[in-house]
Chain A
Amino acid sequence: MTPDSPIKLVSELLDLPLYDNEGKYCGIVDDVELSGGPGKPLKLKALLVGPGAYAGRMPEWAMKLVKLMAGDRITRVPMEKVRTIGTAVHLECPGRALGLYKSETAAGHWIPEGGAL
């Protein structure tokens, strides 16, 4: 399936894992950004990645819990950067070019490098 194919958003795209063109795991499709309006075709504009994107999908109290556990960062992935959508979403560029590893990199500052086999 390519980004232009018809897609059942909820069942087929939301919550799918995301991989970049280097095969690196980049996270999960947490929400989508649509364009269009009354009388105009609805088009998928971008994928939203990161727990901040849960806001539209769950109650406020649950968001507080999520923020406590995982923060509220959102990264926007334009649809032009999506290569294929199947049981996972594959990007056609490195994830870091889209700012997808920022939280992981930030957490990395807390972990000493050494001592592991």
Chain B
Amino acid sequence: MSTVAAQRVVGGPQNASRGAIRIEDVVKIYDSDGSAVMAVDHCSIDIKAGEICMIVGPSGCGKTTLLNAIAGFHDITSGRILLDDEVLCGPGKPKAEPGPDRVVVFQNGGLFPWKTNLENVTFGLLMQGKMSKASVTEKALSMMADAGLTGVEQNYPGEVSSGMRRRIEIVRALMTDPKVLLLDEPYRALDSLTKSVMHEALLEIYYKNKVTIFFITHDLEEAIFLGHRVAVMTSRPCRPKKFLDIDIPHPRDYSVLTSKRFRELLEETGEAVHEEALKAFATGEKEG
């Protein structure tokens, strides 16, 4: 069986030509006050272009550290990270440069409360100055409409629901046509009903835009529902403990949640996750 056929069978990634991330043997040690704390321990993950890779682990296990390294917010101690064979950070260049090819959607929301929703969405392209304001606005309005966000363009983020804010933030990220979306537990604060709506909306956006998704969560159901692949991480220091291919075909909708296969996968992974959660609980790591 060829690899392409194999991908079809597992409902594999879309045929994206860009956005492959290679995390090679990355180590991150925090040493701010002299007592070295290892957050990421020889971590290697290979993410295919156009894949939805879900990173699952208990809160505070060091997942966000990994994301920050890819995004370019933190340096790494050793190892390297590549995006489409281009070194983002590695020996001699410990910190990646943040840029519009890898856009982050933040845990607590990164929309600027002092800009209207439309101004938030147009922000990236206007700052880059490559397009005229009129064409940026046009693109923004059509992308917002596509995501079901009409009527709130002139509102401020503080005036719309948190679910809607998340959707706007994802649209804002996609405006700059990134290769990779880095999502840091974006739905953490949402109630489970809103969450389910958001999951379907994210998949819908994903099917329309060829983009690689690096998605951090502590919610295993979310991970299995959305991902092509789930990486269960160990608790501090953070390292992949188990990879799980999710062979439920895309496009998926909410009926997947009640399917037999979904339950099986949940069971298969549940134990590994629970084990790490217990460890994290025992060490009393602070969430974050």
A binds B: no
List residues of chain A with CB under 8 Å of any chain B CB.
none
